Amino acid sequence: MLAQQLVNGVLLGATYALFALGFTLMFGVLRVINLTYGFYFSAGAFLSLALTRQLGLGIWAALPLAAIGAGIMAVGIDWLLLTRLRRRATAELDSLMVTLGGVLALYSAMTAWLGPDIRRLPPGLVSADSFVIAGVRITTAQILILGATLLLVALLLALMRGTRLGLAIRAMAEKPDAAGLMGINTARASALVSFISGCLGGAGGVLIGLNFNAIHPYMGETMMLRGFVVIIVGGLGDIRGALIAGVALGVIEVLTAGYISSGLKEAVAFAILVAVLWTRPQGLFGRAVMRRA
């Protein structure tokens, strides 16, 4: 029983980690908390719904296409909302407010268009088979979720650590002005970061949609709470921290739901957020630079 819950928790947490990764990457490089990020999650889920239901694509085609679609949206929306603010003295607060207004407009426009109802992916999209390994049951969907998450994280780390593009992005995260002087096209690198994090958010939406089989416009907003917890606990902008904190949060949620009450998992997650703010605001792994007012 406990082993089963731990496995479920790790698999759920892997999706949280993937989602939070895009969020923390955007903060780490562009220095903005982008609250529209939750929308890319909903958008990814709805795109996968359209691709599988209307076009009859399989999940292996729908997942990357939906992620890319969400990434393209992210580039457009971020450009529209954030480019004007970059040079302002109060950019931090302004970008929070503008993305908050933007995300409310996007969610409610989406609800007006598609309706607030919960939708489901077509049955039989993923085979309902499951495997029993040492008494622990794992479904095909869960294997797919884990595989896709590992693949995306590996791709991201390879890009950031192994390519010139990744070097440019890391240079921007370190010192944006100096990176510009060194000949890095910072506007293009920013757009690329938006694209990558939009893809990660969208892929997270598809995978969570697959895991719970419930897709609705505001699903990104409930997910954002997890995103906040993970990036604070892991440390703002810390990629490794986000991965560890994401998996840990998934396990804690599943255990809370299993042993206390499923209605209180949000409250437990939030209590962890507040506890970390009191004790270690630089994140549990202490690598993110804590910015004092």
Partner 1 sequence: MSIPPWLDDLLWTYQNLIHAMGVNGLLALSMYVVLAIGQLSLGQAAFMGLGAYSSALMTLKLKLPFFVVLPASVAAPVLVALLIGVPTLRLSGVYLAIATIGLGEVLRAVYLNVDVFGGALGLNGIPERAETWMIFGILAAGITGLWLVGRSGVGRAMEAMREDPTAAAVMGVNVPRYHLAALVTSAILAGLAGALSAHVSSFIGPNEYGFEPAVTILSFALLGGIGTPIAAVAGAWFLTLLPELMRDLPQVRLTLNGVIIVLAVLFLPRGLLGWRMGRKAA
Residue list 166-225, contact with partner 1 (CB under 8 A): 218, 221-222, 224-225
Residues 91, 218 contacting (CB under 8 angstroms): no
Size of the site for partner 1 (CB under 8 A): 52
AA identity, residue 224: M
Q: Does 292 interact with partner 1 (rule: CB under 8 A)?
A: yes
Q: Does 228 interact with partner 1 (rule: CB under 8 A)?
A: yes
Task: Dig out the tokens for 66 from the structure.
Answer: 């939906």
Residues contacting residue 29 through CB under 8 Å, at least 6 positions apart: 169, 172, 173, 189, 190, 193, 237
Q: In a 10 Å sphere around its CB, with 0-12 CB exposed, 13-18 middle and 19+ buried, how is residue 157 labelled?
A: middle
Q: Does 286 interact with partner 1 (rule: CB under 8 A)?
A: no
For 85-118, the DSSP string reads: GTTSTTHHHHHHHHHHHHHHHHHHHHHHHH-S--
Angle at which helix 186-212 crosses helix 164-174, to 10 degrees, equals 100
Q: Does 236 interact with partner 1 (rule: CB under 8 A)?
A: yes
- Return the residue matching tokens 């939070």: 20
Residue list 76-135, contact with partner 1 (CB under 8 A): 81, 84-85, 89-90, 92-94, 96-98, 100-109, 111-112
Angle at which helix 219-234 crosses helix 265-279, to 10 degrees, equals 30
Q: Of the listed pieces 10-18, 144-152, 196-204, 277-285, which binds partner 1 according to CB under 8 A?
A: 277-285
- Nearer to partner 1 by C-beta: 126 or 219? 219
Q: Does 242 interact with partner 1 (rule: CB under 8 A)?
A: no
- Nearer to partner 1 by C-beta: 144 or 173? 173
Residues 179, 171 contacting (CB under 8 angstroms): yes
- Nearer to partner 1 by C-beta: 164 or 292? 292
Task: Dig out the tokens for 152 from the structure.
Answer: 């995306």
- Nearer to partner 1 by C-beta: 167 or 221? 221
Site string for partner 1, 30-49 (x = CB under 8 A): ---x-x--------------
Q: Which residues bind partner 1 (CB under 8 A)?
A: 33, 35, 81, 84-85, 89-90, 92-94, 96-98, 100-109, 111-112, 218, 221-222, 224-225, 228-229, 231-232, 236, 261, 263-267, 269-270, 273-274, 277-278, 281, 290-293
